[in-house]
Structures are given as C-alpha cells and as structure tokens.
Amino acid sequence: MHHAFPVAGTLLLLASMALTAAPAQARPCCKKEKAHTEEILLAPWSGPYGGVPPFDQARVDVLKPALEAAMNATLAEVERIAVNPEAPTFENTIVAYERAGRTLGRVQAIWNVYSSNLSTPAFQELEQEMEPKMAAFQDRITQNAPLFRRMATVYDARENLGLNAEQQRLVWLQYTNFARTGARLDDASKKRLTEINQRLATLNTTFRQNVLADEEGGTLWLTDPADLAGLPDPVKDAAAQAGEEGGHKGQWAVMNTRSSVEPFLTYSTRRDLREKVWRTFVMRGDNGDAHDNNATITEILQLRLERAKLLGYSNHAAWQLELTMAKNPENTLKLMEAVWGPAVQRVHEEVADMQAIADKEGGNFKIEPWDYRFYAEKVRKEKYEVDENMVKPYLQLEQLREGMFWVAGELFGFQFTQVPESEVPVFHPDVRVWKVTSRTGDLVGLWFFDPYARQGKESGAWMTQYRSQERFDGEVPTIVSNNANFVKGKPGDPILVSWDDAATLFHEFGHALHGLSSNVTYPSVSGTAVPSDYVEFPSQILEHWLSTPEVLNKFARHYQTGEPMPQALVEKIRRSSTFNQGFYTVEYLASALVDMKLHLAATPTTDPRAFEKDTLQALGMPHEIVMRHRTPQFNHIFSSDEYSAGYYSYLWADTLTADAWEAFLQAPGGAYDKDLAKRLYDDVFSIGNTVDPLTAYRTFRGRDAGIDALMRVRGFPVPVTK
C-alpha cells in the first residue's frame, strides 16, 4: 500500500492517507512556549542530513496555528507570483511556483504523521476541523486566475524556450494539474467546486476515523487457554503481549487488524472463533451504528460524480484515470476481466481441494470464508509438504530487514547505517532511523522504520515520503519511511512473520527504494510522484528478490539454531509459488472491480451494501471469499481521492512487474544481473515523473508489457492469441 503523500500541483499539499501511532498526550503550556513550538514547526528543518523533521517538538495543540500560518505564508508566496509585473517566464512562474509552499510542506509532513500514527481523539477532532480548510486553501491556489494565465503563457511557449525534457515535463504537469482541478471554470462553478472539495475532505476524514474506531473497538479478548487451540507459540505469545499492552494481563487479544486476524484464521482449530473473528473484521464500518460508513460512502460518490461533471468528465473514473498509464476505465476493465475468469476457475479448484480434506476429517459443513485460510494451509501441506509453521521460524523481521538492505546494495549500491537515537528525532520509541549512502559514500537520504502495531495506528503497511529529493536550489536528500503492524511477542523474542508478510515487507521497501533512488531536479516530479498504476511497479518487482536463493541462504535463518533455511524447504516454497493464487487474485480483483464500477455508475448508488452484493453476484464471486477490502472499510478509495477508481493499479503494475522479472530471469546474471539492475535504476527507479511512464517502461524493456508473463507468474492459462 503506497502512502507516499501525493503532490498537488507542485506544492507539497500532502493528502491524509489514513496512516495512524502511539498516542502523544497534548501538554498545557504557557503562551511563550506555545509560540516557540509553532516557530519550530514552521522553520526550515535543522540538524544533520540536510535537516530532519522536529517530531519531538510537535504537539496537537500547536498543529493548528502552525498549519494556518503555513497556509497563509503559501498564499502570500503564490500571490507574489501571480501579480509579478514582469512577463511570465519559466523561472519567474514555473520555478517560482515550484519553490513556493516549502513551509507548508514541512508542517504537513508532521500533520500527516499524526493522521496516520498519532491519531488521538484530540487530533481527530482537529482533523475534522482542518481538512476542509486545507481543501479550500488548495482551491484558492488552483483557482487563482492571474497565476493560471501566467502558467498558460509559459505552457503555450514551452517548446520554444530552450527547456530540457524535465523542465518541459514540469511545465506540462503544472498547467495540466491546474486545468484538471478547475482553473478554467467560471466563478460560480469554482465556488461550487470548493464547496464539494471541502465536504469531501470532511467525509474522507469521517470515513477513515470510523474504520479506525471499529478496528480499535473490535478486539476479541480470550480468557480460556482452550480458545488458543491450534495457534503456534509465537502467535499465542503475540496475543498475550497484545493483551498485556491493552491492559488485560493474563488474557489474549485478537486485535481487529489484518496482522492479528490473518494468523488466527490460518491456525485456529476453533471454527466458532474463526467465524467470530472473521465477521468482526469484515464488518468494520458496516454495523449500523455511529461508525457505519454507508451513508458517508453514498455522499462521497454523489459529490465525486458532480465534481467530475463540473470539470467536464462523464464520471469520476474518467477524471481520475486521464493521466495514468491506463488512460481510461475501459482499459482497466479489459485487463481485470481477462484475469477474473481464470482466477475464479482456480478458486473453484482450490475449494474442491479444501472441501475434500474437510470431508475426510469428518467435517459436516461446506467451506466458508472463515475456513479458507485454515484449510488452504492443510492443502499446502498435503500438496507441497510445506506450511507456514515450517517457514515462519526462518523469517525473522530483523533478518528480513537486513536482507532488504543487502538487496538494495546488490542492485543499486545503497548502504544502510543506523543512526544514534539522539541524532534524529522520532515520533515514537518504536521508530528507528538509518542513513542511506551511495556506492561513493554520498548521502542518499534517511529511512525511518516503524514496524509494530499499537493503539491509534491504522492496520496494514505503507511507505511515506517526508521530504522529496531535489536539487534546483541545492542538493536536498529525501526522507522516507516504512510503516507496518507486526505484533510484538515476548520482550526480547524475535518477531516471526509469514511468507505473505515478508513479501509485503519487501513490497513497501520497494516504494522506499523508489523514493531513495530519485535523481531529478524538481521536487514535484521526484521519487514516487508518478501515476498510481505505475508507482506500484517498483514496489511489486522488489517482492521477487525475497525468494531468490541468495536472500534465503543469507537471511532466512532459524530463530533458534541460526541455521539457514534447508534447500529442500526452499525448493518446496519455489514449487508452491502459484499455490492459492486463485484466492489472492479474486479477493483483490473483487475489490478493484467494485471500486471501478462504483465510480462508473451513471447514478451513484444510495445503498453501497446492496451495490457491493449485486456487483459481486453478477461477477460470479465465489461465496467462499470476500473482497480484500469491503466497501465500508475501503480506505484506499474513500479516505482520500488518491486510489479512488484506482485500486486496479496493483494489477496493472503487476503486468509490468511480471514482464520485467522475466527479463531478470533471462539475463546472464539472473536476478542480480548488474547491467539490467543499472537499467532498472536508470530507467525506472531514479527518474521520478520526468518521463511518461509508458515511455520509461519501453526504454527499460525495449517494448510494451503484455499479459502473458502475468498469467504465467500466477499459474493461470496464457490466453491464445488469434
């Protein structure tokens, strides 16, 4: 899940992508201290590494005045550009705008960490107040007519100004982003657009907070050891630790988050409790109570359609996809539907295998969604002689982190050195920081790592970019983070993770490497500031290095003996690589298809629950599976606009990933081929949005990516070309 904050125009107007960490208590303070703290948040970052975020100085009570002061400063900067009496030029308009908003970018980096990692009740109240104000602020900039006229003048003359390719791309992006967000509307339409955006900001915040409330309030507390039947010791230890941290010492907690729910569904032999845990998880945001999201979804969809039509598009999906690789919704549906049929057929085969085992064991029931992971593990063990319990002892979180560092070094020459706790402020004691340097020893940036679940933190895993790389006003190194929700076990014990979680770890680190690799001039085209259906390509391809023998031999070591994973087990993992692909593909695609169809509807649904049910029924959704993200908890598409009508992006990017990985498999040096790794860095990871993604991929691969490699890597039949 990519949570690098998107750039709106060229200001670092960071969209709040439901990230959330340990509650920080606001302290009462004197007026003098408060003013001083505000000044620290507004000031350029000080300290080493080009300056670091003052996380230790941030408090909820100073975020509002700091944010308001930063917005006012930005408006003043923008107005100076707009009223400049000199004729518009690239330097005094485009570059000047690129330079604007730095104070705001710094404050919003702090703000978004609170939104994602420090979401206390006090902050949530402030978030409800400020998100609409930030939306209106953004509209004041994009609707600034004199500013847009200056941009248009430079845009019209861009091919005759002696600009290089990156500068021409920057001009095009600035102009296009303004045009697409209402700069050409009449005054009445601009006013209505601002009203819509403000209301959507409120609704997005409400949606995100409702999901978080259901996650935090949905913990299952177990008091009887018999309730732990089937759970491996590390899972039981993690549940006990979570119980103690939640104030219930002597009890076991199954938290209502994916990282806690999925191990329980995989191992628990208590079918009644599996069902209870599953129902609580899939009903987040859909319980008909104060945190129910269905009415919120209805209004979001209505407003998104109205906004799209106001901007000249037939629907929200058409507006969202215009600048993506896919270009339009029809292309996404063509890809998704091509994969859907084979994936559903594979699910039926997987269910038949599971049902046979359940029947043989005397189970008088049909496989239900809360049985899928449990019986899938039994099938995996029977078919491939491997299950998660055999693999997890070799997958230690900290060893995997070292493995990721090693891969980054082998591919791109990056070196990671942990910095002393006193050198860089962090927002929670769990967070650690590494300095990243190049082969020549030059500073690349900083990497923050926040791996553990806790109260107030959204479930899942993500990457965030606190500062973009740039060099037009001097070299500025990037600062990125990876955040996850691994459950701590006993103090001092290693954290053991599943194969799927290990792949997710590498995936999010791929996003971080994308940010760290950035080698461009201007921040708004830096790092991960690319279309959503391309941004997942660098992250997804990095997953493939997890399974390489080099990584497994060096870093997949038994947590007790230190012995490397046996080759026989490595081979079993390799042979089982396409196992359960029906399940993974269908649960994902169901969410992606519902997302797209919600945003293509000519008339927005007034009953999201029924729309979801009817859409899945029409698709032929197997009843043994639910969407990976059901509509009322689908933060990707309803906590902001970023991935709305865009959840297809993971599949689109995976077509590139599968095709690119085959290039490595065919290269003389295999997965670590130096020449191909250099091309991957030069043509994909380092160029940001300075080149159209389609052109960038063609440069790397020498051609477009087809669907064949995607089908092969998932073990589905390759379509026959007529």
User: So which residues are the catalytic ones?
Assistant: 508
The angle at the Cα of 297, spanning 4 to 265, to the nearest 5 degrees, equals 70
C-alpha to C-alpha distance for 446 and 516, rounded to whole angstroms: 8
C-alpha to C-alpha distance for 355 and 361, rounded to whole angstroms: 10
**CA distances (Å), 554 to each of 478, 506, 565, 670, in order?**
29, 16, 9, 17
Tokens of 657: 């990933």
494 backbone dihedrals φ, ψ, rounded to 5°: -70, 150
C-alpha to C-alpha distance for 554 and 670, rounded to whole angstroms: 17
C-alpha to C-alpha distance for 567 and 400, rounded to whole angstroms: 18
Which of 1, 8, 18 lies closest to 639, judged by CA? 18
Tokens of 301: 């969809």
Angle between helices 608-619 and 294-310 (to 10 degrees): 80
Q: CB-hemisphere CA count at 13 Å for 583?
A: 20
- Residues in Cβ contact with 361 at an 8 Å cutoff, skipping those fewer than 6 apart: none
Rg of the chain's alpha carbons, rounded to an integer? 25
C-alpha to C-alpha distance for 490 and 267, rounded to whole angstroms: 19
Which of 128, 147, 109, 114 lies closest to 9, judged by CA? 147
C-alpha to C-alpha distance for 659 and 653, rounded to whole angstroms: 10
C-alpha to C-alpha distance for 400 and 500, rounded to whole angstroms: 13
Q: Please report which residue ranges of 439-531 form alpha helices under DSSP H.
A: 499-517
Tokens of 252: 């076991």
Residue 86: burial class (beta carbons within 10 Å; 0-12, 13-18, 19+): exposed
Q: Please report which residue ranges of 49-186 form alpha helices under DSSP H.
A: 60-82, 96-99, 102-117, 121-142, 145-156, 165-180
Q: Are 450 and 464 in contact (CB under 8 A)?
A: no
Which of 529, 613, 577 lies closest to 712, judged by CA? 577
C-alpha to C-alpha distance for 699 and 681, rounded to whole angstroms: 12
**CA distances (Å), 288 to each of 206, 214, 294, 613, in order?**
15, 12, 8, 17
Estimate to the nearest angstrom the gap between the alpha carbon of 329 and the chain centroid: 21
C-alpha to C-alpha distance for 487 and 124, rounded to whole angstroms: 24
Which of 575, 584, 219 lies closest to 372, judged by CA? 584
- Residue 100 DSSP code: T
CB burial of 500-517 (b: ≥16 within 10 Å; e: otherwise) equals ebbbbbbbbbbbbbbbbb
